[in-house]
Structure 1
Amino acid sequence: MNDASRPSRLERTSGALWGMFVADSLAMPAHWFYSIESLKDQFNGGLTGYEDAPHPHPESFMVGMEYQPDVEQAQRCGRDYDILGRHSRFYKTTYSELKIETGHRESQHGNASPKEEERYHYHHGLKAGQNTLGAHLARVLLRSVAEEGRYCEAAFLEAFIHYMTAPEQRDDPYTEIYLRKWFENYASGKEKRDCAFHQRDIWSIGSLGGMNRPMILSMLADTAYQGLGFGLNHQILTHRSENVSAALGLSIPLLHDLLAGSPPMSAAMHHTASLRLPRITGDEMFAQYREHEGPDNIPDSEMWKLHTGLETKPFRLDEFAAQPPSAVVLEKLATACYPEHGLPLALYSAARHEFEPEPSLLADANAGGDNVGRGAVLGLLVGAASGPAFPEAWIDGLADKDTIANEIDGFLQVAEKDFPW
């Protein structure tokens, strides 16, 4: 391919953004299926395209999750606290009543769950081609950048709060723990820049959901060096996590190499040379969770070791990608939301399928677990590698395709500037 026919950086940026939205919607129906057998039974052998969120979700433990803002303090501060709206019926809150019993245990993860017919899907009500809340918050960032003509932290936070405290406009009932804890702090009167929790206090703060917006924001910078700095600064607004920062330290430089047109596999081999796999396997981690009847019951010191203990031997992505999925998914890497497992699993799907979007994203979606958070990272990478060659049929199938296209165009106009900060 000569230089004239190579996709430009702007075209690859567009491909990356479309890749994220496609991956999110594609994975949504199978989000948080930890059992591959259950996933295959539910989707006739596996997902092959967009589908509605099914009901019931056999492994769901969304019902009964907590959101406990101090309502009186929020009112004294003049701050909105309701981020759930009509979806509050699924949560234990300080301002609504949960009428669904949660006396059962979800078998894979060990968390309290309702009886099976009341195990509502995390994205209950979403239809084929719709996006989750995580992708919609990425859209909040795109719109903020376009409206300001640059990235402005204060403007993003205002847009983020406005979007979250107008829950009537959202179809997705699943509100991740980082958001619920963020708005508990916000309701108490904390400064907006200080509302994020730390993974040492709540382990799920160290989640893949903290990666997509920093990776997107980094694409405004000309270099990975600068992009990583801006991305990490944005990350800590919502995710104070060493594990998320470490994962971004690999994924953002790789993303920038792909935007520059580097051969995907050689770029991935270069950037993953410093990667180390988790010391504990996915099966072992879930066994620990079940033994303690949920991760919240594991002592903090044990959780720190569980999620930061890494192998010392060098990592080779090509050798890892040559292993069959049965030896990697769950056997070696957990499909949960943690980046130390999720990033190498996303890279495994990409490398095993030579960074081709369709097989890579389908493999991720059908691995289950946090396939949405993991898929967003994967979609950005394979989309950057593919650029305008990203499958049009999948773009056309997105429910908000036209609006998303306008938001992507607005972001790209800012990305063309010499210094959009």
Structure 2
Amino acid sequence: MSAVDNRADPAPLADRAAGALMGAFIGDALALGPHWYYDLDALRTRYGAWISDYTAPMPDHYLAGMKAGESSQAGVLLRLTLESLAERGSYDEADFCRRMDEVFFPQIDGTPMHGPGGYTSQSIREAWRKRMQQGLPWGQVAGNADTTEAAERTLAIAVRYALDPAALADAVTRNTVLTQTDGTVVAMTVAFGAVLGMLVEGHALDAAISVKLMARVKSGALPFHTVTSGNLQAPRPGSVEVPTAGRFPSPDALLTQSSIARAALDPDVRIEPAWKVSLVYGMPCAVYHQFPAAYYLAARFADDFESAVLHAVNGGGQNLARAMLTGALVGAQVGFSRIPQRFITGLADSAALRAIVQRVAVQVDTD
């Protein structure tokens, strides 16, 4: 059943879904070359004042040997998730885990600088060691990494279930805890998926989005704890809190988006140039740096895919996650049809990526 209420965007649903998915692949690949430069002077010396297209990593830096337009390991795992969704028609956890065991894990060895995509992140390394070396079952291999690794693949699940927020939250939660167990990370990852789902529906990333998200909490569609009434007003006298199993401890992960969107559109609150959002929210990998920066860029450049992802890339640090998440959020707002063609054709294996993206996007539109 569709959860749409007051859609703000008349663009076709499948176009928005495809835009979100392809936007993530594009953001990931755009940051491949200049990934993880925390010294911005070094970044500018090597890549110039403004990175505007796909680039290859330098021989002495992260991801060396890869080619411009290729996907990092985050893109590889996003594709694996999409392939499972496409073939199964929905989120099938057993199929996802089977693909990890049979397709992905044999390509890595538990060390950082190895495997498809050039670098294996912490939570994936931990899962590999517990699964492949210790023989632990899925459900017992997750770690406490505080990064966006789960969000980078579960964004596909969020798009697939954009019209069913309860199923979205359930599937994103279940997939996230396969590799990451920190409660705050899981809550923020599910919140990101909920926001992305709303943008795919056609809602705007603006000052009203948190109110809409909280309405879904009140209806029971999103599993967050809340005792307030209305727009975070005091609880009504005599109101009784009913415990809900598995509910996140607070709704705070759903509240930051409206404040950030309001700031992004407020003429008295300016980050200039916008790539300096990385300095405001932080350049490292943790979720509390990455999600706010992506929300800011996606709200500020809601109608301008190119500006959003390029400012994400040019901010340095963990720009790959920032650009991937931003690309998904803005891609959902502009739609696949309004993503600059050069970004699509410049992707390695572009035709195959486009086919899998369109296949899942159609599933969303035909539910």
Query: Aligned partner of 2:13: which letter?
Result: R
CA drift of 1:341 comes to 1.4
Q: Which runs of 5+ in 1 are unaligned?
A: 57-120, 200-204, 274-307
* Contact 1:269 1:316 (8 Å CA) reproduced: no
CA drift of 1:253 comes to 2.5
Query: Aligned partner of 2:58: which letter?
Result: P
**SS of aligned partner of 1:47:** coil
> Is 1:38 the counterpart of 2:5 in the alignment?
no
Structure 2 counterpart of 1:156: 96
* Contact 2:312 2:322 (8 Å CA) reproduced: yes
Instruction: Note the alpha carbon deviations across 1:97-139, whole angstroms, 9 max, x for none.
Output: xxxxxxxxxxxxxxxxxxxxxxxx2211111111101111111
Structure 2 counterpart of 1:101: none
CA drift of 1:241 comes to 2.3
- Closer/same/farther in 2, CA of residues 331 and 173 from structure 1, 3 Å limit: closer
**SS of aligned partner of 1:265:** coil
> Is 1:165 the counterpart of 2:105 in the alignment?
yes
**Pairing 1:164-313 to 2, within 5 Å after superposition:** 164-167=104-107, 171-186=116-131, 187-197=133-143, 199=144, 205-221=145-161, 222-266=163-207, 268=209, 270=211
Query: Aligned partner of 2:128: which letter?
Result: F
**SS of aligned partner of 2:54:** coil
* Contact 1:272 1:317 (8 Å CA) reproduced: no
What TM-score, normalized by structure 2, do the two folds share?
0.76
> Is 1:319 the counterpart of 2:268 in the alignment?
no
* Contact 1:12 1:383 (8 Å CA) reproduced: yes
Instruction: Note the alpha carbon deviations across 1:320-357, whole angstroms, 9 max, x for none.
Output: 56322479545432111111111111112223334421
**Pairing 1:72-87 to 2, within 5 Å after superposition:** none
- Closer/same/farther in 2, CA of residues 395 and 316 from structure 1, 3 Å limit: closer
* Contact 1:269 1:317 (8 Å CA) reproduced: no
Instruction: Note the alpha carbon deviations across 1:271-294, whole angstroms, 9 max, x for none.
Output: 799xxxxxxxxxxxxxxxxxxxxx
> Is 1:138 the counterpart of 2:78 in the alignment?
yes
Q: Give 1 or 2 for the bigger CA radius of gyration.
A: 1
399-408 vs 5-14, greater mean Cα deviation: 5-14
Which residue of 343, 351, 359 maps to 2:307? 359
* Contact 1:225 1:253 (8 Å CA) reproduced: no
* Contact 2:185 2:287 (8 Å CA) reproduced: yes
Structure 2 counterpart of 1:381: 329
* Contact 2:91 2:171 (8 Å CA) reproduced: no
CA drift of 1:55 comes to 2.4
> Is 1:399 the counterpart of 2:339 in the alignment?
no
RMSD between aligned residues:
2.9
- Closer/same/farther in 2, CA of residues 362 and 331 from structure 1, 3 Å limit: closer
* Contact 1:206 1:242 (8 Å CA) reproduced: no
- Closer/same/farther in 2, CA of residues 128 and 270 from structure 1, 3 Å limit: farther
* Contact 2:30 2:69 (8 Å CA) reproduced: yes
Aligned equivalents of 1:28, 1:268: Cα separation in 2? 31
Aligned equivalents of 2:43, 2:358: Cα separation in 1? 36
Structure 2 counterpart of 1:26: 30
Query: Aligned partner of 1:18: which letter?
Result: M
* Contact 1:206 1:240 (8 Å CA) reproduced: no
Aligned equivalents of 1:250, 1:364: Cα separation in 2? 20
* Contact 2:205 2:261 (8 Å CA) reproduced: no
Structure 2 counterpart of 1:341: 289
**SS of aligned partner of 1:50:** coil
Aligned equivalents of 1:247, 1:401: Cα separation in 2? 30
CA drift of 1:267 comes to 5.1
Aligned equivalents of 1:170, 1:256: Cα separation in 2? 31
* Contact 1:254 1:267 (8 Å CA) reproduced: no
CA drift of 1:264 comes to 3.5
- Closer/same/farther in 2, CA of residues 317 and 271 from structure 1, 3 Å limit: farther
CA drift of 1:266 comes to 4.5
Instruction: Note the alpha carbon deviations across 1:142-167, whole angstroms, 9 max, x for none.
Output: 11122223321011111112222342
Query: Aligned partner of 2:25: which letter?
Result: F
